[in-house]
Amino acid sequence: MYRIISGKWKAKKIAAPKNFDVRPTTDFAKEALFSILENKYDMQSISVLDLFAGIGSITFEFASRGCQDVISVELNPKHTSFINSTASELDMSKQVNVQRGDVFDWLKKFRNKKSFEIVFSDAPFEMEEKKYYELLSLVLNNKYVKDNGVLIIEHQSRMKLEHPNLVDTRKYGNVSFSFFEANKEANKDDNQEI
């Protein structure tokens, strides 16, 4: 069970079936994360990509705050149908687009089709470290993050992600959020005099 922290559905409790193997982001960490994001972005005018969406804890937090364009990618069919039915129950079906699939395959298939202000990833904590780097590469090298956007990876605090695009890591107990900026396009001016 988790609750939506803010927005239209503030304090709404969402209870997943007991047999679901999920680890929703804690309220404490979620509150801190959204406090950072709301200082930087107007929630009603951004696009969000939620990878490893689980049972929609982050997806619904964005939608509750008025985000009109959230794509949630999740492999488990029970989880995707749970997100869909919850979105329908909360009248968020127009805001939330659930895509069932393996995150890595999905990122390879849809590369360069759309960019987002916020790409959020909450991969299973047992995922190998090298897969985190594969994820970073797929998201950043295929223009999933807009120039003013951010890729946020939730991971165990004991794991340190080193990357040239890393701008910040915030630790909340055993959970950390690492923030990565978009790849910068090289400004080439052929007429520039040397």
pLDDT at 15: 85
Per residue in 115-131, pLDDT tens? 999 999 999 888 999 99
Per residue in 162-190, pLDDT tens? 999 999 999 999 999 999 999 986 433 33
**DSSP per-residue codes, the chain:** -EE--SSTTTT-EE---TT----PPPHHHHHHHHHHHHHH--GGG-EEEEES-TTSHHHHHHHHTT-SEEEEEE--HHHHHHHHHHHHHTT-TTTEEEEES-HHHHHHHTTTS--EEEEEE---TTS-HHHHHHHHHHHHHTT-EEEEEEEEEEEETT-----TTEEEEEEETTEEEEEEEPPPPP---TT---
pLDDT at 192: 40
Q: Which residues pair with 97 in a beta bridge?
A: 71
pLDDT at 46: 97
Provide the whole-model pTM.
Answer: 0.92
pLDDT at 106: 97
Q: Which domains does the chain possess?
A: 2-181 (3.40.50.150)
Ranges in the chain, pLDDT < 50 = 186-194
pLDDT at 188: 35
